[in-house]
Amino acid sequence: MARVRFKLWVEERYRVLFGGGRMALLQAVLDSGSLAGAARQMSMSYRAAWGCLRASEKRLGFSLLERGPEGCRAMRLTAKAQRLMEQCQAREQDGQRLAERYQEQWKRELGALRG
């Protein structure tokens, strides 16, 4: 069965500011308490994880992570990163509702086209 799906990301000047992969990485930081732990959880190198987030920080103009009070390796999301994640999650939910609405229409249309 065909399914209506979508991916959400935000670009500026054709460069990714934020999207699903970065959101998953930040969620992994929340879950693990560190960027190193998040990288392991996502099967990424620390360098790749750091580079991905640094690129977003540079393009966004604000920090996504800050040191946690637990120690030098502990990381947590900044308030702006939390707000960004909340907005992206809300837009993803909006998109999912839209995809569900169109699912039945696509099913009928494909059936008609296929004969």
Q: Is residue 104 part of a domain?
A: yes
Residue 41 domain boundaries: 9-114
Residues 73-112: pLDDT tens digits?
789 999 999 999 999 999 999 999 998 888 888 888 988 9
| Measured distance CA(66)–CA(73) in Å, rounded | 10
For residue 59, give every residue at least 6 positions away whose Cβ sits within 8 Å of its Cβ, in sequence order, or none.
12, 15, 16, 17
For residue 71, give every residue at least 6 positions away whose Cβ sits within 8 Å of its Cβ, in sequence order, or none.
none
Position 78: which residue type? T
Residues 16-51: pLDDT tens digits?
999 999 999 999 999 999 999 999 999 999 999 999
Q: Is residue 59 part of a domain?
A: yes
Is 82 within 8 Å of 75 (Cβ atoms)?
Answer: no
CATH of the domain at 94: 1.10.10.10
